[in-house]
């Protein structure tokens, strides 16, 4: 019997998703690297996983498109025999005070961050095998309430609630559902548009006095995905270096 575990990671070509895909691949998972447009970057992740002795494929899928997401899960089942772990790392962020936010940016952000999270969770709930895990992404800004983040944090608060309800709906399936809420993390998505003074100020907020790295967050996800983390269920883990 094949004991290889299979992970589907959306947003797997960049940032935290890339680190998650490579971390899981390095731990022996077969990985489906989901991406939207960065085909070359996704191919690099596949190469990194295979170079470490793992198996991986890249699949293009807009997480808000239910047919594309279903096809990505089909690819996981066809290539690797099933799905054990689903990590939805795809996301976008548009920062603005509430009074100034362009509603087109709001709609685009919610299409990916809320509808996309729901579509991924729905497909995961239908397909993840017993013993598996579903991991969504929130943000520590839900609690920190930084000005300018209202639209982004509100969407992520919706993801937290959805994830907690999903964990209860999966009763009897032996499948967990948890959200990870990073704090300031050195990704392109986070760094874009911020001057050095802002970055330095945010880096000083945690008691550990640095920004998080994608690898920091990937290790938290890997724990939740593993048998060692299986008793954690229906939770939001705020991986932020101690910001309160």
Domain boundaries, the chain: 6-183+212-239
Query: Has 149 been annotated as catalytic?
Result: no
Question: For residues 89 and 198, which has the higher predicted lDDT (pLDDT)?
Answer: 89
Q: For residue 7, is pLDDT > 70?
A: yes
Q: For residue 32, is pLDDT > 50?
A: yes
* Short-list 3, 2, 47, 55, CA closest to 24: 55
Write the pLDDT tens digit of every residue in 91-122: 999 999 999 999 999 999 999 999 999 999 99
User: How many CA within 13 A on the CB side of residue 159?
Assistant: 38
Q: Give residue 2's pLDDT.
A: 52
Give the Cα-Cα-Cα angle 7, 211, 93 (nearest 5 degrees).
65
The mean predicted confidence, pLDDT, of the chain is: 95
Phi, psi (5° rounding) for residue 22? -70, -35
The answer to whether 104 and 51 are in contact (CB under 8 A) is no
The answer to whether 219 and 23 are in contact (CB under 8 A) is yes
Q: By CB neighbour count within 10 A (0-12 exposed, 13-18 middle, 19+ buried), where does 148 fall?
A: middle
Q: Hey, is 108 helix, strand or coil?
A: helix
Q: Give residue 191's pLDDT.
A: 82
Superfamily designation of domain 6-183+212-239: NAD(P)-binding Rossmann-like Domain (3.40.50.720)
Q: Which residues pair with residue 30 across a beta bridge?
A: 6
Write the pLDDT tens digit of every residue in 133-165: 999 999 999 999 999 999 999 999 999 999 999
What is the per-residue DSSP string for 29-53? Answer: -EEEEEESS-HHHHHHHHHHHHHTT
Write the pLDDT tens digit of every residue in 164-210: 999 999 999 999 999 999 999 998 878 887 889 989 998 999 999 99
Give the ranges where 38-102 is alpha helix by DSSP (H). 39-51, 66-80
What b/e string do you get for 73-96 counting C-beta neighbours within 10 Å, with b at 16 or more? bebbeeebebbbbbbbbbbbbbbb
Q: For residue 244, is pLDDT > 80?
A: no
Q: Give residue 1's pLDDT.
A: 36
**Crossing angle for the helix pair 150-169 and 116-127, nearest 10 degrees?**
20
CA gap 150, 145 in Å, rounded: 7
Which candidate in 35, 110, 149, 152 is catalytic?
A: 152
Mean pLDDT score, 60-85: 98
Q: State percent of the chain over pLDDT 70.
A: 99
């Amino acid at each position: 019997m094949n004991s290889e575990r299979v992970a589907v990671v959306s947003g797997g070509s960049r940032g935290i998703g890339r680190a998650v895909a490579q971390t899981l691949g390095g731990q022996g998972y077969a990985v489906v690297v989901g991406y939207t447009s960065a085909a070359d970057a996704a191919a690099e992740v596949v190469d990194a996983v295979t170079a470490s002795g793992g198996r991986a494929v890249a699949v293009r899928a807009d997480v808000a498109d239910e047919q594309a997401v279903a096809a990505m899960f089909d690819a996981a089942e066809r290539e690797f025999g099933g799905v054990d772990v689903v990590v939805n790392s795809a996301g976008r962020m548009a920062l603005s005070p509430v009074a100034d936010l362009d509603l087109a940016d709001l709609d685009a952000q919610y299409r990916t961050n809320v509808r996309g999270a729901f579509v991924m969770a729905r497909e995961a709930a239908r397909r993840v095998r017993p013993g598996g895990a579903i991991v969504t992404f929130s943000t520590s800004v839900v609690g920190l309430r930084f000005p300018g983040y209202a639209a982004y944090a509100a969407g992520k608060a919706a993801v937290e609630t959805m994830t907690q309800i999903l964990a209860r709906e999966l009763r009897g399936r032996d499948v967990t559902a948890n959200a990870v809420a990073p704090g300031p993390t050195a990704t392109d998505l986070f760094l874009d548009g911020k001057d050095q003074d802002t970055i330095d100020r945010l880096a000083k907020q945690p008691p550990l006095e640095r920004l998080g790295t994608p690898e920091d967050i990937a290790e938290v996800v890997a724990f939740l995905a593993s048998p060692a983390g299986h008793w954690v269920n229906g939770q939001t883990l705020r991986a932020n270096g101690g910001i309160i």
